[in-house]
Amino acid sequence: MKSSIKPYSSSGFTLVEVLITFAILSVLTTVSVATYRSMRQKARSLVELNAARNLITGYLDDATERSGSVMPGYAADPRATNLDGESLGFPINARYPWRLARSLPQIEGVMMFNGNEHALKEQNRDYLVSVQPNMGLNAVMVGGYFGTGSPVQPSQRMVQQLGKFYLSHIAEAPQPGRLIVFCSARSAPEKPGYFEVRPPNLSRRIWSSEPFDEKSAANRHGFVDLRWGGKAVVACLAGNVELLDEKELRDMTRWSIQAQAQNNPQFMLGGR
């Protein structure tokens, strides 16, 4: 008598097949997330590059109205007003954003972008815009930092001592296409945006000798933010916009008209 029991068979997945499937899905998900993040970062960097072009165009338009003289890097301006046309007090009217705003088509998308534009809806909007634009101005070397907090006062006495170390007119730049006016900035770790950036050297070394670390204090690299894959967006006096890495940014001929005149990448004020 033949047995009526049939051999067991199943159309389901084995444990090995299930594990392999999960592994493949995990890899695909990781790749997809990484690709998305990469694409999002690329898009945000393009936003900043475009904003930098508009920013430097407005800056140069302002200089044209001044017959070639550039706006002071930091100086109280009683003409500065907010979006409602209201006069602004010090120090809000000394930082560049509201002084330059009248030469820009708009603030959102040019000065405040990639998330920083939320400041325009805050109650303390005037302050936030003044202190945290996405790009900082090379205020000490371009225009001069006039104020009690200046690391180097652009006074007659300092000029006699150090020479004309800051640019006050477009014609003074030996290489305008290399001179940084604006640069990607940050005020603290993971807090993009600041109203100024400072060069690697002044009369002493300003930047840390250690490589840039996004978790380190912002002032260790002069408030410069290498947030785009180890590079920062810069807008130069000739109107050109570039992405520079840390090595390129440590070159003082990118920051100083005196360094350019001497062709000295290691330049320090006073020749030290």
**How much is the pLDDT for 99?**
98
CB 144 within 8 A of CB 72: yes
CA pair distance 94, 98, nearest whole angstrom = 8
Sign for the pseudo-dihedral over CA of 145, 146, 149, 154? positive
Write out residues in the chain with pLDDT < 70, as ranges.
Answer: 1-13, 18, 28-34, 36, 272
Residues 109, 88: Cα–Cα separation, whole Å? 22
| Residue 88: predicted pLDDT | 98
Which pTM was predicted? Answer: 0.88
- Cα angle 88, 90, 93 (rounded to 5 degrees) comes to 50
Q: Encoding tokens for residue 156?
A: 């007659």
Looking at residue 1, what is its pLDDT? 47
Runs of H (alpha helix) within the chain: 15-65, 96-100, 125-131, 156-162, 246-249, 257-262
| Predicted local distance difference test score (pLDDT) of residue 38 | 73
Per-residue pLDDT, 252 = 98
pLDDT reported for residue 8: 47
pLDDT, position 64: 98
User: What's the Rg (C-alpha) of the chain?
Assistant: 26
pLDDT of residue 272: 54
